[in-house]
Structure 1
Amino acid sequence: MVFPRNRFQSKGMSGSEGSKGDEVRNHSGSLSLYPQLADNLHHIRTQLGHSPDITIREFEVGSSHSQVAMVYMNGITDMGMVNEFILHSLMIDTAIETNKDMASDKSMFDFIRNNALSIGEVKVIKGWNEALLSIMSGNAAIFIDGWTEAIGCGTKGGELRAVTEPSSQVVIRGPKDGFTESIGTNVALVRRRIKSSNLWLESMRIGKVTQTDVAIMYIKGVADDKIVQEIKKRLNGIDFDSILESGYIEQLIQDKSYTIFPTIHNTERPDSVASNLLEGRIAIFVDGTPFILIAPMSFFGFFQVVEDYYHRFEVATVIRLLRYAALIISLFFPAIYVSFITFHQEMIPTTLYISLAAQRESVPFPAFVEALMMEVTFEILREAGIRLPRAVGQAVSIVGALVLGQAAVEAGIITPAMVIVVALTGISSFTTPAYSMALSIRLLRFTMIIASGFLGFFGIVVLSIIILAHMCGLNSFGIPYMSPLAPFIPEDQKDTLVRFPFRSYFFRPRLSSQSSLVNVDEASQPSPQNEQNGRGSE
């Protein structure tokens, strides 16, 4: 769809012909406001299609009866701020004597902007593009008769969802607050955790139609300046009509579009964002969504959760290794079963193979087709459980799996062993903390089953090499996707597959942050000699 260069230029507008003939543009190229208040209000109504949710409040100020109008949008404007800090201040608290002497010293416009409004955010609006965007963003605009400028007041508000526990990431130990759809609330939740003057925030608007507020947050001196500049460059280069969710941003700024693996993480948890910021990563906030983007991200970062650092390092290490084991099971287990049953029966113990062969006597389908049927059925049940209402969805997913599995076994369509394999695979896939990575593993599982059905274990090995080579070729804003294993960084191995004690962390991740900064002062660590002296004193 092609939009005209000046969307706010109207034809056939009623009002004085002289004012239309005097249309001028300001230094930014936007059409300037009209000096007559009636022309400005008519232009607003015309451009917004006489929408019923646009409120225009006209009144007089001072003994000179200056004509003033305030325009705001119902539903996205804080009515308490409008009534208390704007209307009450202008109509009741302010007594303006607009005699000739005062008019020569201080104009009505400057007096209202600098003295009459008891609200924090006030700015001057000089063009129609800025005026309409401010109104549609939830701010109130004050127009004064005889002036070609308006006053914008920060009154964004309306009905917003309260801060609640994140729904997509279950919290066992840690703070229970989660992000909301308000970008201001989300930024405040992070600033509450990192009280540092080096925590910088830069905002912009993306989307030619939606004009969505987007902000990037990083810790100056910790985050790599080159990565910060690259992220800002990609965000400013987005030329898209609409940005409705952070997923739009994720797809538009990632290094490679044609890859099944996510290279940017998303989370609903403020403590997770704070933890990643302290490691030198950058957070991207998008207004209208509770999911915050984190970049750059490596493959191993998707299997680390902030709760790993709330438990002792022994427990966290075991749980993290369990996640990687579940990853291997969810990706390879059905494919290995199909390859063993179809091509490599000699690799199965004799007793077990006799039992499996007896089960397969009444099954009319080969193991390859059987596995695909079960996997597709399981994915349908999983998707139905997500999309249905919560109470109904849980019943459908659990009861459906039990009933269908038992009925299929009794009908001789599938074997009990295949039910066990698919069930264990499905349960293992739920251990992946990041939903985007879990989706990638689910899709790769089907390709593994197809490769094993045609080539056996050889097909699994070849496909695994192709996937691993593809992952080694990926980058996340210039950071290798498989770091710190490829390239191998010895210092970063303390928090990759396992988690070492906090006392052993000296440096932040080398590739995503400034390598010269240390996380823990090495001088504060107890030396072996001091530990021995301490034991001796005991």
Structure 2
Amino acid sequence: MIRIRRLPLKKKPKKQKAQQQTSSQEIPLSKKLTENIHLFSSLYQDSSDVIFRSFVVGKIDATIIYIEGLSDTHKLDEQVLDTLLKNEFKEIDFLISIKNRLPISNIETISTFSECVNAISAGNPVLLLDGFEEALSLGLVKFEKRSIEEPQAETSIRGPREGFTESLGVNTSLLRRIIKDPALKMKAVHVGKYTKTKVMIAYIEGLIDRTLIEEIENRLNRIHIDGVLESGYIEQFIEDSPYSPFPQLLYTERPDVASANLLEGRAILIIEGTPFSLIAPVSFFSLFQSQEDYYERFWIGTFIRSLRFLFVVISLFLPSIYVAITTFHQEMVPTDLLLSIASSREGVPFPAIVEAIMMEIAFEALREAGIRLPKQVGSAVSIVGALVIGQAAVQAGIVSAPMIIVVSITGIASFMAPRYSIGLSIRLLRFPIIFLAGFLGLIGVMLALIMIIIHLSTLRSFGVPYLSPISTLQKPSMKDTLIRSPLWKMNLRPHLTGEFNAVRQGTNLKPVPKNGDE
């Protein structure tokens, strides 16, 4: 079983706790419609988008409250108002009679002001009747939303073109379309005092360890914040080691990636208002896996994945190794190459470490400018800026030509990381490693490598060792780490799911031609 470090709940001051209990009391609705309308009017004072529509049903006064832009007013007119004004209802069981006659699939009976406010804020009109302590929440939500498009942050040559959107209902339906078994469960948690953002915990019952779901719920319930605007808010509140530069959760906007992780026994956090869902737990090696690794033949997937790891190491250590060798270890360089480097650096007034820091900062600034500028000019500015600045710096004698080559190779190598989050971590760690190399040489580079490995060995993602399965020596799970074994050989799920239900496919699945075809 996995070991999960439970985080203690924060104790609140007594005064704050008392205020919270007072504010969270469930105030029941009054039988008098005028009292209810007065309270809602004072609550939504100066809110011109909140509509109060009063009318008479039979001999009973009624009012519908809804927010303009969140509710379907066309259906509200046709299916609700038209039905209520043109039909007669029995005075006995009046509320039940209305509920049965309205042609709406989702109608809920609510009895408190907080339930009414939550329904109105979610886009469901609330029907209040005089003489009744209960109201009806009408499922007529309709608001503008972005259509399903191809994910922008996780493009692929082969694979589905659908991506998550900002609508929680659309995202859950995309998962349901892929995983049709009722074992796919989704638990809802609301986070944020004012936004009340809905967070859906998706998992497959029987494949996931129940303690993992309990820990996720515990960490989400610990969050007391004004609002949640993106999944990054949730990620920063529930990760194990907040001071680590390495991401401990994986985010994705692809339903196929989320479904694959669900089938491996992980949990998906789908957050309302963002197309990026969080995956927990994750390992260091899962950050270098791409969906196309599994859609292509295993030889191709293994080769591309090996290139990824190689170029990520180059991206992290190449500038520091160049600085260390040119500063302290010139004897390691062949004579002809050393003379070429020395001649190119003859007129440069700065040491190699200053060169590297200057060029790395300039490259990062150009990359960030290319991201923030409009798409029409962003790529042109970054490419032209790199060429112009690099050529001008060499001609002015500020930077040597070999340093331009090293920084260029480093920048290209950094783009090999399939996840933007791990790419940011590598970009951040590159600078302290350069400083160590500039002061200690290759000893500083080795010291940085040892410190990174020790740090990675101590990290956990919801109780799962960050370097698993290599650090935990799980041979079956190593088939999908540095290499990608054939699909018909990966019979077992990762060990993080626990000891139960470890088999995920049958045996003897290797393609074999029939006797008649041999």
Given residue 86 of structure 1, which amino acid in structure 2 is its aligned partner? Answer: V
Question: What amino acid maps onto 1:77 in structure 2?
Answer: S
Q: Within 5 Å, give how 1:22-421 maps onto structure 2.
A: 29-62=25-58, 65-92=59-86, 95-97=87-89, 102-103=90-91, 106-113=92-99, 115-421=100-406
Which is worse superposed, 181-190 or 200-209?
200-209
Moved more, 143-152 or 506-515: 506-515
TM-score, normalised by the number of residues in structure 1: 0.90
Could you tell me how far apart the structure 2 residues matched to 1:33 and 1:423 are? 67
CA distance in structure 2 between the partners assigned to 1:145 and 1:3 by the alignment: 36
The residue type equivalent to 2:57 in the other structure is V
Q: Which segments of 5 or more consecutive residues in structure 1 lack a partner in the other structure?
A: 10-27
Contact 2:488 2:509 in 1 (8 A): no
Partner residue of 1:21?
none
Given that residues 68 and 143 in structure 1 are in contact (C-alpha distance below 8 angstroms), is that contact kept between their aligned partners in structure 2?
A: yes
> Matches of 1:82 and 1:416 in 2, distance apart?
70
Please state how far the C-alpha of 1:506 moved relative to its aligned partner: 1.1
Structure number with bigger Rg: 1
Identical aligned pairs, as a percentage?
45
Output the CA distance in 2 between the equivalents of 1:163 and 1:153. 26
Evaluate the alpha carbon distance shift between residue 353 and residue 523 of structure 1 in structure 2; reply closer, same or farther with a 3 A threshold: closer
Which residue identity does 1:477 align to in structure 2? F
Cα distance change of structure 1 residues 342 and 535 upon mapping to structure 2, 3 Å threshold = farther
Tell me the distance in 2 between the aligned counterparts of 1:240 and 1:346.
Answer: 58
Instruction: After superposing the two structures, state which structure 1 stretch, 440-449 or 39-48, moved more.
Output: 39-48
Partner SS, residue 210 of structure 1: coil
Q: In the TM superposition, what is the alpha-carbon distance from 1:90 to its structure 2 partner?
A: 2.1
Q: What letter matches 1:47 in structure 2?
A: L
Check if 1:431 corresponds to 2:425.
no
Query: Would you say 1:516 and 2:512 are equivalent positions?
Result: no
* Aligned counterpart, 1:13: none
Distance 1:244 1:4, change over 3 A: farther
**Higher relative contact order (Cα pairs below 8 Å, separated by 6+ residues):** 2
Is 1:450 paired with 2:435? Answer: yes
Deviation larger for 39-48 or 175-184:
39-48
Once the 2 structures are TM-superposed, how far is the Cα of residue 512 of structure 1 from its aligned partner?
3.3
3-state SS of 1:362 partner = coil
Aligned to 1:17: none
Distance in 2, matches of 1:153 and 1:336, equals: 66
SS where residue 179 of structure 1 aligns? coil
Deviation at 1:523, TM superposition (A): 5.2
Taking a change above 3 Å as real, the CA distance of residues 6 and 224 of structure 1, as seen in their structure-2 partners, is: closer
- Following superposition, the deviation at residue 524 of structure 1 comes to 5.1
User: Which letter maps to 2:173?
Assistant: A
SS in 2 for 1:192: helix
The 1-side partners of 2:196 and 2:231 are apart by 14
Structure 2 regions of 5+ residues with no counterpart? 1-14
Instruction: Name the SS of the counterpart of 1:120 in structure 2.
Output: coil
Inter-partner Cα distance in structure 2 for 1:420 and 1:537: 54
Give a deviation string over 1:282-332, Cα, whole Å, max 9, x none: 000110000000000000000001111110101111000010011011100
Distance of 2:160 and 2:273 partners within structure 1 = 22
Does the CA contact (< 8 Å) of 2:206 and 2:501 recur in 1?
no
SS in 1 for 2:128: strand
Code of the aligned partner of 2:414: S
Aligned equivalents of 1:355 and 1:455: distance in 2?
24
Q: Is the 8 A contact 1:509 1:515 kept in 2?
A: no
Displacement of 1:236 in angstroms is 2.0
Residue 29 to residue 462, structure 1, CA distance change in 2 (3 Å): same
1:218 counterpart SS class: strand
**Partner SS, residue 260 of structure 1:** coil
Q: Is the contact between residue 279 and residue 513 of structure 1 (CA under 8 Å) also seen in structure 2? A: no
Contact 1:131–1:141 under 8 Å retained in 2: yes
CA-CA distance at 1:513 after TM superposition: 5.0
The match for 1:507 is 492
Contact between 1:275 and 1:306, CA under 8 Å: does it hold in 2? no
CA distance in 1, matches of 2:464, 2:334: 45
Letter in 1 for 2:82: H
Identify the range of structure 1 (203-212 vs 465-474) with the bigger mean alpha-carbon deviation. 203-212
CA distance in 2, matches of 1:517, 1:509: 8
In the alignment, the residues of structure 1 paired with residue 167 and residue 499 of structure 2 have an alpha-carbon distance, to the nearest angstrom, of 31
Deviation at 1:208, TM superposition (A): 1.8
Give CA-to-partner distance per residue, 1:415-458, whole Å, 9 cap, x none. Answer: 11111111111111111111111110000011111110111110
Paired with 1:371 and 1:523, the residues of 2 have a C-alpha distance of 54
Conserved in 1, the CA contact under 8 Å of 2:207 and 2:501? no
Kindly indicate whether the alpha-carbon contact (under 8 Å) linking 1:208 and 1:242 is maintained by their aligned counterparts in 2: yes
Counterparts of 1:424 and 1:78, CA distance in 2: 55
Matched residue of 1:320: which SS? helix
Write the letter of the residue equivalent to 1:76.
L
**How far did residue 133 of structure 1 move?**
1.8
Measured after TM superposition, the shift of residue 36 of structure 1 is: 2.1
SS of 2:496's partner is coil
Residue 321 to residue 200, structure 1, CA distance change in 2 (3 Å): same
Structure 2 SS opposite 1:522: coil
Distance 2:500 2:347 in 1: 63
8 Å Cα contact 1:223-1:514 kept in structure 2: no
* Equivalent residue letter for 2:446: V
C-alpha displacement of 1:488: 1.3
Contact 1:224-1:514 within 8 A present in 2 as well: no
What residue is the counterpart of 1:24 in the other structure? none
Q: Decide whether the 8 Å contact of 1:45 with 1:51 is kept in 2.
A: no
| Shift in alpha-carbon separation, 1:237–1:214, aligned structure 2, 3 A | same
